[in-house]
Structure 1
Amino acid sequence: MIIKMLKDIKQHGPPGGSDSRARPKMTLPTTTRQYSYPKLGSYNNLVLHEVPVGAPKSNEVLVKTHAVSLQFRDLLIAGALYPGSLPPDLVPCSDMSGEVIAVGADVKDWKKGDRVCANFMLDKLHDEQTAATGESALGGATNGVLTEYRQFPAHSLVAFPSHLSYEEASTLPCAALTAYNALLSGYEPLKAGDTILVQGTGGVSIFALQFAVASGAVVIATSSSDEKLKVATKLGAKHVINYKTTPNWDEEVLKLTNGLGVDRVIEVAGNSTLQRSISSVKISGSIDIIGLLGGMTDVPAVDIIGPCIFKGLKIRGIYVGSVAQFKNMNKLISANVETTKPIIDKLFSFEETKAAFAHLESQAHVGKMVIKF
C-alpha cells in the first residue's frame, strides 16, 4: 500500500493539488491609484488618478497600503503654508500602515505578508537629526503615502504591535512617535510621579496623555470643550482645564501643583500659548515644542530668554522620531495594551479623503482621522 501511494505521488503529485513548484507566482500590481496636488492652496485641489508602479528594487519593499491617518501638517501643506520645497504634483500624507507584498533581492528582514508602518522620515534610523534625514520626510520633502501601493527602502519600515489593527497602527508614525520622543526619549525621559501638562485632545496630545499615564505620571489636560475633557478624564487625566472658561489657565495649573508648576509641558499651539506654558512649568522644568496649532500670524511677542535663564528651563523642539525610537515605542504599547489603545475619532474611505481633511480642519475631533483603503 505504501509503495503504491509513493508511486501515485511521484506520478500525479500530492493529494489535493499539483506539485507546488508548478503553482503560478502572484502577479504584482502594475498601477496604483493615488492622490496628488497639481497645485497647492487647498485640500480640495487633490486629484485622484492612476499611475504606474514597478517591482521593488534590490533594497526596497513593495507595500500595499491599508490605512492612512491625517495630521495637522497635512493641512499646512495643502494650504501652501509649510516651510521648505516640495516636489511637483506632491502625493501627500506621511502616516500609513500596510502589508508587504514583495521584497527586493537583497532584502533579508521582510517577507510577504508582514504588517508594517513606514517611518515619517525614511532615512532617520537613529536619534540624530540632519538635513539629509529631513529631506526624506514623507508627504513633504518627498512624496507621501496617499496611494494604494508604494515602494519603501527596507530600512525605513517598522513592524507594528500584533494586537493593533491596520487602522490603529496608521496613527503611530507621527502622532504617537512625536509624543514618545517628547516624553520618553531625549535628554530627560519622563518618570513615574512627574506632572505633565497636555494641551488639547488632538493626536499627539492624546498619545502624550496615554504614554504619561502608562509611565505613572500625573496629567493635567486642557481643551476648549468640556465634552473633550470628559474623554481626557476617561483616558486617565487627573485634572482638566477648559481654557475658554479659564483663560488664565496657567494660574490654575499653579494652583493644582501647589505653586510649583508642572515638570514638563507638551506645547502644541506654539507662540499663542508659549508664554503661559513658561508660566506653568516649574523651575528646571522642560517644554517640548510639538507644533503651531495656534497659527503663525497675529501672535503675541513671547519673552523666552529671561524665563529660560532664571527658571533654568529646557525647551526642546520635537520633529517626530527615528526608526529606533519607533521600535522602542512599540514595546511600551505592547506592554500597556489597554492604556495606549489608539483613539480614532472617525474612519473615512479612500474615496472620502477630502471629507477626512475637512473633518480634521474643523478641529471637532478627539484623537485621529483615518482613511481606510
Structure 2
Amino acid sequence: MSTQTVFRITLKDGIDGIRAFQEPIPSAGPYEVLVKIHSVALNYRDIAIATSTYILPTRDHVIPISDMAGEVVQVGERVDGLAVGDGVIPPVIASYMYGGFKQGHDDDGYGSVADGMLREYVVLPATALVKLPQSSLGFAQWAAVCGTGSTVWNAFYGNTALKPGDTVLLQGTGGVSMTGLVFAKAAGATTIVTSSSDEKLAFAKSLGAHHTVNYKTHPNWATEVLRITDGQGVDHIIENGGLGTIEQSLECITASGIISLIGFLDMAEQKQPNMLIPAIAKAVTIRGIRGGSKHQLEEVVRYMGKRGLAVPVDKTFGFNREEIVAAFKYVASGKHVGKVCISLD
C-alpha cells in the first residue's frame, strides 16, 4: 500500500512537538476527490493550536494547518465539476458553505478539530473545494488566500459592504492585514496600516498603502489616525489585537463604522471598564469574524482572478520537520510580512 508523509502535533507544550509519520494514501469515495497538496500556508491560528493557546476546541494528535492549494489526482464516480488536473483550495471549515457562521461549524475546522493539510495527499468532499482559475499565480499564492482571503472578504462584504472612497485601518502587517490591504486598494478604498516596524510599513507602502502609523512612535495611534482622516475616523477596522487595541479602535472608528474582530494578538489587561461606551455613542458595529464561508472563498478566487491580484508571500519553507518547525517559529516571532508557506514541491 502506498504511503505518504504526514505531520501531527504530538505534544501540548510547543511547536517542537510536530512529528512526521508514514500513513496510507487514502482513496476518494463516490462524492470525494483525492488532492495532491503542493503548498500550505500558515496562520497565527496554527501557532496557537500548536502551543495550546488557541481559544477554540482542538483535538489531540491533529494534523495542523487549514490552508492548502493542490491538484486533483482522483475523482469519485459521483463528482461533477472537478476533473483530474484541476487546481483547488478548501475553506477553513468544510461545513461552513454560505451565509452567517452557525453553531456547530466548529465541529470540522481543518487543523484544529478535523485533520488539516500538513501532509502530501488529502481526500476531501468535492463540495468543500473551490476550483482555481487559469492564472499566473503559483500554488503558494493560492494557498495564502484560503483563510485570510475569505476572512477579509467576510469582514469587508459580509455585513455593510466596503465601498470605493471608504477608509480602512489595518492593524499590523501579517497575512490578514496584507490581504486586507490588497483587497481594499483594489476596491478603491483609502488604507492606513499600523506597525511597530518602519521596515514593515515601507513594505506596506510598496503594496499601495496610502498612510502608515508606527505605534511605537505614536503610542496613542488613534489620535494619529484621526489626524490623517481630518477628525472623521475610519469606516472599517481590521481588529487583530483584541483587548490591547480595541479601545483605540473605538476611538478612531467613524460613526456607523464597522470593527471586525479577527485576532487576539494583544490580550493586555483591560484598563477601561466602560470601553464600550464609544461603541454605543457612535452606533458602531463590532462584528466577530470566524473566517469565511466556501461561497465567500469562491468570490475571493473570482475577484483575484479577474483583477490579477496576489497576496504577498514573505517566505517559503521546505516540507521536512526542521523546515516546518522553523516556519512555525518564524510566524510565532511576528517577523513576517504577509504570508508564510511550506512547499511540498
Q: Is the 8 A contact 2:170 2:192 kept in 1?
A: yes
Question: Residue in 2 aligned with 1:186?
Answer: 158
Measure, in 2, the Cα distance between the counterparts of 1:168 and 1:332: 14
Q: List structure 1 runs of 4+ shifted beyond 6 angstroms.
A: none
Larger Rg: 1
SS in 2 for 1:221: strand
Shift of 1:305: 3.1
- Structure 1 residues 256-292: Cα deviation after superposition (integer angstroms, max 9, x where no partner): 1111111111101111000000001011111011111
Does residue 321 of structure 2 align to residue 328 of structure 1? no
Alignment gaps of 5+ in structure 2 = none
Shift of 1:147: 0.6
Instruction: Give the partner amino acid of 1:210.
Output: V
Q: Is the 8 A contact 2:243 2:269 kept in 1?
A: no
244-253 vs 49-58, greater mean Cα deviation:
49-58
In 2 relative to 1, CA 142–301 (structure 1 residues): closer, same or farther, beyond 3 Å? farther
Shift of 1:223: 0.5
Q: Is the 8 A contact 2:93 2:106 kept in 1?
A: yes
- Structure 1 residues 201-222: Cα deviation after superposition (integer angstroms, max 9, x where no partner): 0000001111110000000111
Shift of 1:302: 5.3
Question: Residue in 2 aligned with 1:275?
Answer: 247
Measure, in 2, the Cα distance between the counterparts of 1:234 and 1:39: 40
Question: Residue in 1 aligned with 2:311?
Answer: 342
SS in 2 for 1:124: coil
Shift of 1:119: 1.1
Question: Residue in 2 aligned with 1:357?
Answer: 328
Instruction: Give the partner amino acid of 2:312.
Output: I
Measure, in 2, the Cα distance between the counterparts of 1:84 and 1:234: 35
Instruction: Give the partner amino acid of 1:33.
Output: T
Does residue 122 of structure 2 align to residue 176 of structure 1? no
Shift of 1:304: 4.0
Shift of 1:346: 0.5
- Structure 1 residues 146-185: Cα deviation after superposition (integer angstroms, max 9, x where no partner): 01011101110001242221111110111111111111x2
- Please point out which of 189, 195, 206 is paired with 2:167: 195
Question: Residue in 1 aligned with 2:188?
Answer: 216
214-223 vs 51-60, greater mean Cα deviation:
51-60
Q: Is the 8 A contact 1:43 1:78 kept in 2?
A: yes
TM-score of the superposed pair, with normalisation by structure 2: 0.96
What is the aligned length? 341
SS in 1 for 2:225: helix
- Please point out which of 225, 238, 255 is paired with 1:253: 225
Shift of 1:368: 0.7
SS in 1 for 2:48: helix
In 2 relative to 1, CA 161–201 (structure 1 residues): closer, same or farther, beyond 3 Å? farther
Question: Residue in 2 aligned with 1:111?
Answer: 83
Superposition pairs of residues 54-93 of structure 1, within 5 angstroms: 54-93=26-65
Measure, in 2, the Cα distance between the counterparts of 1:300 and 1:150: 46
- Please point out which of 314, 323, 328 is paired with 2:285: 314
Q: Is the 8 A contact 2:82 2:131 kept in 1?
A: no
Measure, in 2, the Cα distance between the counterparts of 1:273 and 1:78: 25
Shift of 1:85: 3.4
Superposition pairs of residues 121-132 of structure 1, within 5 angstroms: 121-132=93-104
Shift of 1:299: 4.6
Shift of 1:101: 0.6
Shift of 1:247: 0.4
Shift of 1:301: 4.3
Shift of 1:83: 2.9
Instruction: Give the partner amino acid of 2:256.
Output: S
* Cα RMSD after superposing both structures: 1.3
TM-score of the superposed pair, with normalisation by structure 1: 0.89
Instruction: Give the partner amino acid of 1:174.
Output: G
Question: Residue in 2 aligned with 1:293?
Answer: 265
Instruction: Give the partner amino acid of 2:244.
Output: S
Measure, in 2, the Cα distance between the counterparts of 1:301 and 1:162: 51
Shift of 1:342: 1.6
Instruction: Give the partner amino acid of 1:104.
Output: G
Instruction: Give the partner amino acid of 2:200.
Output: K
- Please point out which of 113, 116, 130 is paired with 1:141: 113
Q: Is the 8 A contact 1:346 1:370 kept in 2?
A: yes
- Structure 1 residues 48-79: Cα deviation after superposition (integer angstroms, max 9, x where no partner): 11011221111111101100010100111011
Shift of 1:314: 0.5
Measure, in 2, the Cα distance between the counterparts of 1:308 and 1:89: 41
In 2 relative to 1, CA 115–189 (structure 1 residues): closer, same or farther, beyond 3 Å? same
Q: Is the 8 A contact 2:167 2:189 kept in 1?
A: yes
Does residue 127 of structure 2 align to residue 155 of structure 1? yes
Measure, in 2, the Cα distance between the counterparts of 1:220 and 1:358: 28
Q: Is the 8 A contact 1:70 1:368 kept in 2?
A: yes
Does residue 72 of structure 2 align to residue 100 of structure 1? yes
